Structure 1
Amino acid sequence: MMASKITLEHLAIVIVTVFCQNVVLAIWLPCDFNEKCRCNSIPQDAKMGREVLLNVDCSNRKLKDIPALPSNVYTLSLKKNNIKRINDDTFSQLRNFTELDISYNKMTRLNIFSFNGLSNLLILNLNNNPLTYNKNAIPNEVFKSLISLKHLCIRNVFPIGSSLPEVALSKLKLLESLEIDIPLSMTPRTVIFGKRLDSLVHLETLKVGQCLFFEIKNDTFFHLVHLTNIYIDILCVISIRPGAHYSLTKLHKIEIHFFSNYDIFPIRDAIKELSLTPVQAIVFKKTCSHGREDPIYMWTTLALGLNGSSVKYLELTDNNPVCLFPVSKLYPAPPSLLTLKMSSNKLERFALELTNIQKLILRDNNLGNFLRLKSFNKRTERNSKLEYVDISENNIYTLIPSVFQGQAELRYINLSHNHLQEISFDVSQSNNLSLLDLSNNSISAFDQNSMRMFDNISLTSNLTIYLLNNSLQCTCKTLIFWKWIVGTRVNVFFDRRCLSADGTVIQFISANKRIQELEKECLSYDMFIIIVSIVLVATLICFVGAVVYKYRWKLRYMFYLAKSKHRRHETSTDSKHYVYDAFISYCEHDNLFVINDCIQNLEMDRNFKLCLHQRDFLPGEEITTNITNAIHESRKTICIVTKNFFDSYYCMFEFNMARMESIYSRDKRNIIFLIFLEQILPQNMPLMLLELVQKDSYIEYPNDEQGAIVFWEKIDEALQVDDRETDVSFTETETYCKLQEKIPYEYLFDEQES
């Protein structure tokens, strides 16, 4: 086996191995100092001589006061309680304290010494408390002790006031990330982020929570010159005014929800200003969450406005599809754009010229019906630069085979959480593909073409396929698929369970053992199929053989007639001109009778034209063809019957061909004369000839001179009159033969029956 197969259980073993090495990290136990809280310990290096630190979780315990804490607390969560105050010096002994989460409580004010002693605190979360932005609630010196603080969250509070608590914030010299609301009573002319914030030289990330109206102007972030990331919450309506780019000289990423007026002009102005900044990532969440009769097509604005910008990442999520894309003209992606995320927009169609996009995320849309017929890449005739595509959760049942056509650089494809039952798409051109996520679908197995395609890709790339939570079947039909899983170079993640033919879930530990069991089951099944197939084939052969045997002479007659020059197959009558009056069918042992008697009496004495095989057959032609042609070109066929006649293959062939001629070419009129040169018992005669003797007349050759005269006269009459008169002539001949004391054929019949 080229590579070991990885299952979900294998992955679990790896996780458990890592877990066991640091088991204290994952087990939360009641704390010794307070049973309402949960603790786990962080092991420290014994050589360093440091004590074991604790992570403490006291969240959602209906606490009204902060419990007494040991000095070795490392992190503390007090969120979702009923705490109203932080007393002075509550945390003064916690020298190793690095993270405090006291969000979702009922604190209305902070004390000057609430955070005294927390010189090592890195993260402080005060979100969702009824704090107001004034000196009584947030004293100027409250954050003075937090000399190491890097992340402060004071958002979704009760931002009544005319300004931010700038004095308190200015003490946080190392602050890197700030979450804050905009005071509700601020006017558009008020400078939101004032001069006191010049000291926040490390502040790079700003998350704005609640606001009535946030207008970004040319001086809004004048005192936050190092700001690179701005996140505007859904509760804040903004407007980006002309000249705003002057205060965003280092902007890298911005996330926006609502604009002041949902109109084309605020969005267009915003994009125009952002395109003049060094921004590389723009996120619009729920910006276009409602439909309008005259919708604003955001993509048109973005595609035109960002053309020539430095934006590499664009995200449009949770928007209304009506206002995203126009139905008619669709502009290509801006050349600078490398990542486009369009998740959760309820899109029902998406066909875009991707330009230079390397990562496309279309998760959680309704593209199933569209991708069944078309590709998401509008220009497939040239190779794209797409490396990552995510179309999971799109209600996809099948994909058009060319959906990934022309995407040779693809490395990651996510098709999880859909309804795929088979691999209908072609990724044979994506030789760099390293991960194909097909988990949470309805796949039962791969067909041989898909397995061959993945094997070819694995020759140039370390391909991994996720098949977790599928409807994999372990039946005789899918045995090849399971053998492929354990033998391929492709790394396949799959569950150790499968469905039997009757839908029963089968759990297994080893795929190899399950394959061996399946082979035994399929062996008996295969034997049953083979036996049934043999019986069916034998029955069919017998039936066909019986039909062919029954109609063998008809088939042979039609075949040889078709081979002859007489390809027409119309009914012949005696009015037709025949080449011969009679064809003589005889055995070589009886050729003296033919030469001495038949030729003399019929040709020389009575001017009949006979067809004899020794004289009239065409040389170089097949014997069977000559026979068929001779019978077809003769008015009658005379069979010289002796015991040797029955032993001759060609004599019997001539008799049967004449019989077929009379049935299928002469309107079932009898054209055969039987001349018996010797007495033959019925049991020695072939059945077909016996039936003809019973139904039609025959004639026996006499041994006396007078009888011979009558014999040849009757033959003469039979060759000259219509077939309907033949029976009468032979009846008279039979009467004559009886007078000559010859043993009549009827007598032989009677004797045999008795």
Structure 2
Amino acid sequence: MACNHLTYLSKHIFQGLNNLLSLQLDRNRISSITNSSFESCSKLQILDLSNNRLNKLEIIRHILQHTPGLHELDIQNNTFMYFNSPEISNRSLALNSLDISHNPLKSFRLTSDIFPKLTTLNLYNCSQKDMIWDVQNKSFLQHVSKLYLGGGHMSLESLRAVLQTVNSSLTSLTLNDESEALSPLITVACRIPTLTSLLLTKNRITAVPGDLLKSCGQLTYLGLSNNSISNVSGSSFTALQQLASLKMSQNNLTSVPTVISNLTKLKTLDLSHNNIRRLGCSDFAHLTQLTVLTLFSNLISKLEACFFQDLNALEILRLSNNRIHSLGKAFKNSLPNLKSLYLNSNKLTNIKHRTFKSLRSLTNLTLVSNQINILESGAFEGLINLKKLTLSQNQIDCGKQGIRQEVFSRLSHLTHLNMFDNKCQYDTDDTIPDPPFANLSSLQTLIIFTQHHRLKSNLPANFLKGLTNLSELKARNIRITSLKPEMFTHTPQLKSLEINSNNLVKLDPELFLPIQKLEQLFVSTTKLQSLDFLIHANLSKQAQQNAFSIINETVLKSLPALTYLDLQRNDFTCDCTNAWLLDFIENNAQTQVLEGHSYTCIFPANLKGSQLLDLDTRSCLESISFSFYVSTTCAVLAVLAGALSRHHLRRQVVYAYYLFRAFLFDAKRKNGRGACQYDAFVSYNVHDEGPWVLRQMLPVLEGEQGWKLCLHHRDFQPGKAIIDNITDAIYSSRKTICVISRRYLESEWCSREIQVASFRLFDERKDVLILVFLEEIPAQQLSSYHEMRRLLKRQTYLSWPRAAQHSRLFWHKLRLAPETSEGSGEENSLITGLEGP
């Protein structure tokens, strides 16, 4: 809940969140919190209230009373002026970390041991010059091991008092913005025998004198980042013989300080964000235990073979954001244990034969954002353990001199190749004599897409030859116009394919036959005019921003496992050719059609811009029926008789059929009757799903009142016949809630749901129906809906429009419905208080 405009927390605001562990309320405007706000948060462990407007300790007291297990509390950057233990708590707290930095404290008093488990305390920039530090017993903070001080607002005496309080347990100290009192404070701090880590950031140090750290021989970590250091005395680090980590980033160094080579136990060295222009052959001499060297964001332009000759233990080397134009022989005879090499954002133009010859342990090589246009044969020879190679944002032309089979020779362990934003363009989609990835049999991920608009291109039919284990291919926005049917015969393990943002107009249905394991297909923002290419597939689809006008029903019926279909931002023909799609969107219980109600028409002209779901399909159904009878008889009289019979008896036949199915189901159910699985099955039309069912009813009934509802898009069993799902849902629920609107009355499946529910009503003689009208429907408009009229004569109903000013009463009446008698033999009015039409 961070970064909002909250000004206070009301009573029981977190009610129901009994298992909440972490709560972020930072960067709001909270100045008031009620006593009971955190009553439900007994399991809370982390609470961030930083950057608010709190100023009373009693607020913190009430919070801590309700959160006995709180481990981390951050109240930095508020307006507290006093921090006194009697006002916070009279018992021991479980806090491990307390951040009260950036508060204008006048006093810090501990008169009792309320922080027996505190290990981290942040007091940076949290006091005034005359702040009183009053910790009556040093044992009150005996476990504090990490301390943050500085900001220039505490007197030297106060700072010394703080350090003396924790001088038996402190291991890590951060001193920021303390340029005036820095030297004496370092002397006091380094006399603490347990101190091993010292961070001196933002202290405006320009030079490191020889005696500054002379008493800090026990340090294993020293941070001097974000100062202005340009000069380091030759004796500055003489005493630091135990130092394992040194960080001097964001300074003004122009070369590697010579004193560093004497730190023989050093394991990590960070010299990033300086002005180092050149390296010397002795800069890292004797650093035989160094495992991480960071030199990114400097001005280094050249690498020599001797620079890294002694770094036999080095595992990570970061040289990004320099001006390196040539690698020379730097990696041909050194760094045998290097695992990750970062050369991003330099000025390399080509990778020559066996450039990385000695890096036999390398697993990750990154060459992003250089100017590479040539990869010589055997460029990566020697990298026998390389798993990830990133060549993105260069100028490599896959189709000309840039990539040949020999470039990636012997990379038998490579699993990830990223060539994003290069020039993978070919003039032909026929087979080529030298497919670039033929030697990469272990490759699992290949990325060749680009962000920039390119000219039309092709991919050769055997472009993917050799990639027998490829599972993910991203070929987005490379401007290809077609794909040959044999393209994926080389990648039988492919599971994810992105070919969106291309110039594809049509895809061959045979294209996906070789990749039966495909699970994700992204074809958005192309020019495809048909989904016929999916007819042999069985996967999850995303097909946004294409030019589909008519969707083939056979295509979707060939996808029995389809559960999610996204056709947003497409244009549709609104005539009988897409009539079946309306029924699919509204009534298919297995497949969710995302935002189906928003699909618009492009043809015919008089319907352009209108909603697809507004299409009147009744004439389409009549045309289909007429065609069926014409095709089965040549006698005009028989056609007319059949059409009349179907018109007059259709409802009765369908009703009888579903009554019979419900009767069979009920007879079977009575043999093994058990408790109902749901409180209610909700029967509704898809148009009312988002606006009312999910946004109005679901939060109240399930969220507030604890109902367990059965919703067809969520709870129907995939693969089962829809009518069986409906019957199971109704007989497994105590009630059936019918959410009635004009579109509900017109829906065939909604009609079937209410028919089955009606049979249960008459068969069991229980009041199992709850009718909720979302619209005022005049009685004359109900005249053609016989089933609904018959129910309204026996059932009282709820009207949402009439309850607009009495929503609480509406939900109260609805809540009472499942509590009414279900064993009565009468037809009673269970929901009273609102009249019928």
Report which of the two structures shows the higher radius of gyration computed on alpha carbons.
1
- Length-normalised TM-score, structure 2: 0.42
Higher helix fraction (1 or 2): 1
Structure number with the bigger relative contact order (C-alpha 8 A, sep ≥ 6) is 1
